[in-house]
Amino acid sequence: MIVVLVEKGPDGLAVEVSRETVTFARSLSEAGGGVAIDAVVVGEVSDALREQLAAYGVRDVHRLGGEAYDSFAGAAWAAGIESVLAATTTVVVMAAGTPRGNEVLAHVAARRGVEMAANVLTFGGLSPFVVTRQVVGGQALEEMRLGNRPAIFTVAGHAVEAAPAATPGAATLVEHAPDVAAADLIARVVSSEEPEPDLSGDLKSAKVVVGAGRGAGSAEGFADLVELTELVGGSMGVSRVVTSLGWRPHHEQVGQTGSRISPDLYIPCGISGAIQHWAGCSSAKAILAINTDADAPMVTKATYAVIGDLHEVVPAINAEIRRRRGE
Amino acid sequence: MTNVLVCVKRVPDASSEVVLTADGQSVDGRFAGFTMSTHEECAVELAALVTAAGGGEATALTLGDAEAVEQLRAALAVGCTAATHVVADPQRFGPADVAREIAAVVRDHEAAGRSYDLILLGNDAADSGDFQVGIRLAYELGRPVVNGVTHVSVADGVVTASGAGTDGYETYRVPVPAVVTILEGGVEPRYPTVPGRMKAKKVAIEERTPAGEPTGPNRVKLALPPPVPSNVQILGKGADAAPAVVDVLEELGVLSR
Ligand SMILES: Cc1cc2nc3c(=O)[nH]c(=O)nc-3n(C[C@H](O)[C@H](O)[C@H](O)COP(=O)(O)OP(=O)(O)OC[C@H]3O[C@@H](n4cnc5c(N)ncnc54)[C@H](O)[C@@H]3O)c2cc1C
C-alpha cells in the first residue's frame, strides 16, 4: 500500500499540492498493479474532505487524533505515521514537498533508518525503485535509488497536475490515537499567531498577473508595480525572494511553494525565472517579461520581453496606459 | 554561557550556468566558483548573535574537501571562534552519512569537555537539497529538533525558535541541548571586517578524517533539464518600449475595463 500524508488548508480540504501528491501516487499504484492508496490526515476530517479524497481514489483515510496533535510537532506526526505503518503493509510513504511534508517524512526516514528523496518530479521504475528529483535549486535533476522499504519521498509542488481518479475510492475513516512519547513532543509549536489571510484565490483566478522579484529592490520599490496591477485590473504575484525578504505577503508567492497561476497574461518584472518559480507560472497563456538581463530564463522562455530596468519601464508603461485612456 | 555548533557546506555557486562533471556525479564548480548556502550564512549569523548575547563559543563545522576550509574561514571572519573540518569527498556522503559524521564530532568534543547547547544547520543545502541532515542528526544525538525557522535565541537553558510557518508565525521553546535548522530571511548576515578576516586566518582549524565509511547518497546520476527553445519577441529596450508593451496589452484585450 501507498501512504500519502495529506495536508489541509484553512477550509479543511486537501491543499492542491497534497492532491497532486495523491495523483502522483495513483500513477505509481498503476505501475505497481493497483496497490491501494491510503491518506493520513492530522486532526479534523470533515465529510467534505472524505468526499474529496474519495474522488481522488483514496481507499482509507487514517486520522491522527488526540492531544498530541493539537499543535504541530514533526516527531509526533512521524510517530502517527509509524502507527499507520505498523497496522498496514506499506511500501511507499509520500507527502507534498512542503515545509511540513519534507520535515515529517525526514523524521519518518530517520526513525526507520531508510533514505528519503526530497522534491521528486517523476519516478523511473519500480524495481529498482528510481526517482528523479530537483537538486541545485532546480537547475539540475538527480536520479536517485530508493533501495529500502518503505520508499520515502516528497513530491515537488506542481510537478503533476491534480486530477480526480477515474474510479473513486471508499475513503473509509480509520481512527488512530497513538501513544506519542514525551520525547516526540518536546519540539512542538507553543504559540502561533494568526496566519496572514489567504487571499491567493484572487491570484489563482486572475486574468492578468503582474509579477515582481528581487529586481524590485525593496518593499518601497513596489509602488509602480502596484499601480500597473491596478491599471490592468490584475493581481500581484511575486517570487520567493520577495516573500522571504518580507517585501510582500506569502499568499502572493507564485511557484512550487506558492500558487500555480494560469492567467491570459503574466508580466514578471525583475524575476529570473528559476525552475521553482516557473513551476507556478508555466500555464500562463502569454508572458511579457521585463528584465535587465536578456539571458535570464524568464526572458528566453517568455512570449514578449522588454530589456531594461523595471523602475524605468514600468512607470513608462503606466504613463502610456493613462495617456491612451485620456487621463 | 551558550556554546553553539554551526554546520556549513561548501556548495557550487548556482547563480550562473550549472555545469556537470563528466561522470555526472556532481556539479563542476570550477568555473562558477563556490559559496556557502544562504540558509547557512544566516545560521552563522545567528550563532554569532547567540554567543555574543550569552557568552560562549561559536564553532563552525564542515565536511568537505580540502578547499572547504574557505567556508570555515568565512564563518570565522564573521563571529565563529573555532572550526572543525572533516576532510572528505562530500560527493561520497549521503545525508545520513553526514549526520553520523557531525554526531561523531559532537560526541568527541563533548567527551573532551566542549559541549554544545545548540547545533544550527541550514534547512536544506543549496546543492543536494536533501532537507534532512538536521533531523537525522537530532536522532543520532537523541536531541529535540526544530526545523525551518528564521529566529533563534537562548536564555536560561531554553531555546526559543520562531518563524513564519504553515499555521502562521510559529514559536517553539525547547530545552538545551537542541538542534535547530535555519531558513534565510530572519537575519542579515554581516560582512566580514578586515580585522575579522585577519583573526580568522590565525585560528587553528581542527582537521579530522571521517569517523566511518559512508553508505553514499544513492545517486545514480545527475542531468541537466533539457534546454527550451526560445521564441521570445523583444519589444524593445528601456522606457522607450512602453508603447509597444501597451500595444500588446491592447491586442491581448487585457486593458478593457
Ligand atoms: C525547494 C525550493 C522551493 C522554491 N519555491 C519557490 C517558489 O515557490 N517561488 C519562487 O519564486 N521561488 C522559489 N524558490 C526559489 C527560486 O529557486 C529562486 O531563488 C527565486 O525564484 C528567485 O527569485 P527572483 O527571480 O526574484 O530573484 P533572482 O533570481 O535574484 O532574479 C532577479 C532578476 O531580476 C533581474 N533584475 C535585477 N534588477 C532589475 C531591475 N532593476 N529591473 C529589471 N530586472 C532586474 C535580474 O536580471 C534577475 O533576472 C524555491 C527554491 C527552492 C530550493
Is B50 within the bounds of a domain?
A: yes
Interior CA angle at A311 toward A307 and A315, to 5°? 100
On whether residue B244 sits in a domain, the answer given is no
Same structural domain for residues A98 and A216?
A: no
Q: Are residues A128 and A277 in the same domain?
A: no
pLDDT confidence bin for B256, thresholds 50/70/90: low
> Does a structural domain hold residue B27?
yes
Peptide bond into A150 cis (omega under 30): yes
Distance from CA of B49 to the nearest CA of A (A): 19
Distance (Å) from CA B185 to ligand 1 centroid: 14
Q: Does ligand 1 come within 6 angstroms of the Cβ of A240?
A: yes
pLDDT at A234: 93
Dump pLDDT digits (tens) for A32-62. 889 999 999 999 999 999 999 999 999 999 9
- Please check whether residue B102 lies inside any domain of the structure: yes
Same domain, A160 and A212: no
In Å, how far is B153's CA from the nearest CA of chain A? 15
pLDDT recorded at residue A176:
96
Best residue of B18, B123, B131 to probe chain A, by most A CBs closer than 10 Å: B131
Range(s) of the domain holding residue B175? 4-208
Is residue A197 pLDDT above 80, yes or no?
Answer: no
Q: Which pLDDT value is given to residue B56? A: 94
- Give the percent of chain B with pLDDT over 70: 99
Verify whether ligand 1 is closer than 6 Å to residue A293 (CB atom): yes
Of residues B188 and A57, which shows the higher confidence score?
A57
Structural domain harbouring A154: 2-185
Does residue B257 have a pLDDT over 60?
no
Domain membership of residue B214 (yes or no) is no
DSSP E strands in B145-185: the ranges are 145-149, 151-155, 158-165, 168-175, 178-182
Same-domain status, A116 and A19: yes
- Whether residue B255 is contained in a domain is answered as no
Rounded to an integer, the average pLDDT of B167-183 is 95
The rounded distance, in Å, linking the Cα atoms of A135 and B45 is 25
CATH of the domain at B149: 3.40.50.620
The predicted pLDDT at position B229 comes to: 87
Whether A99 maps to a domain, the answer reads: yes
Say whether residue B154 is in contact with chain A using an 8 A CB cutoff. no
pLDDT band of residue A137 (cuts 50, 70, 90) is confident
Question: Which of the pair, A246 or B7, is modelled with greater confidence?
Answer: B7
To the question of pTM greater than 0.95 for the whole model, the response is no
Q: Rounded distance, CA B196 to CA B87, Å?
A: 24
Report CB contact under 8 Å: A144, B218: yes
Whether residue A195 and residue B167 make contact (CB cut-off 8 A), yes or no, is yes
Mean pLDDT of A3-31: 96
Among candidates A135, A145, A245 on the partner chain, residue whose Cβ is nearest the Cβ of B222: A135
So what's the pLDDT on residue B91?
A: 94
Residue of chain A whose alpha carbon sits nearest to that of B133:
A106
In a domain, A136, yes or no: yes
Q: How does pLDDT run across B232-252, given as a tens digit for each residue?
A: 999 999 999 999 999 999 999
For residue B224, what pLDDT is reported? 93
Report pLDDT digits (tens) over A56-80: 999 999 999 999 999 999 999 999 9
What proportion of chain B, given as a percentage, has pLDDT over 90? 87
Whole-number percent of chain A with pLDDT over 70: 99
Q: Indicate the average pLDDT of chain B.
A: 95
Q: Is A232 in the pocket of ligand 1 (CB under 6 A)?
A: no
Q: Is the CB of A238 under 6 A from ligand 1?
A: no
Instruction: Tell whether ipTM is more than 0.85.
Output: yes
Number of domains in chain A: 2
pLDDT for residue A237 is more than 60: yes
Q: Are A155 and A96 in contact, with CB atoms under 8 Å apart? A: yes
Does A173 lie in the same domain as A116?
Answer: yes
Residue A201 has pLDDT above 80, yes or no: no
Q: Atom 31 of ligand 1 has which residue's CA nearest to it? A: A272
Q: Is residue B174 part of a domain?
A: yes
We report the CATH number of the domain holding residue A271 as 3.40.50.1220
pLDDT digits (tens, 9 = 90+) for A268-304: 999 999 989 998 999 899 999 999 999 999 999 999 9
Check residues A101 and A250 and name the one with the higher pLDDT. Answer: A101
Judge whether A157 lies within some domain.
Answer: yes
Expressed in angstroms and rounded, the spacing between residue A277 Cα and the centre of ligand 1 is 7
Q: What would the DSSP string read from start to end of B76-142?
A: HTTT--EEEEEES-GGG--HHHHHHHHHHHHHHHHHTT---SEEEEESS-TTT--S-HHHHHHHHHT
Give which of A104, A108, A186 to mutate to test B binding, by max B Cβ within 10 Å.
A186
Output the nine-digit C-alpha cell for B63.
Answer: 565536511
Residue B235 lies in a domain: no
Q: What is the CATH number of the domain that holds A175?
A: 3.40.50.620
- With a 6 Å cutoff on the Cβ, whether A268 touches ligand 1 is no
Minimum mean pLDDT range among A246-255, B131-140, B142-151: A246-255
For the record, the C-alpha cell of A83 comes out as 502507527
pLDDT of residue B6: 98
How many domains are contained in chain B? 1
Residues A152 and A83 in one domain: yes
Position A198 pLDDT exceeds 80: no
Quick one: A213 and A181 in the same domain? no
Tell me, what's the pLDDT at B213?
97
The angle that helices A74-87 and A99-112 make with each other, rounded to 10 degrees, is: 60
pLDDT for B140: 98
Burial of A138 (0-12, 13-18, 19+ CB in 10 A): buried
For ligand 1, whether the C-beta of A301 sits within 6 Å is no
Q: Does B169 touch chain A (CB under 8 A)?
A: yes
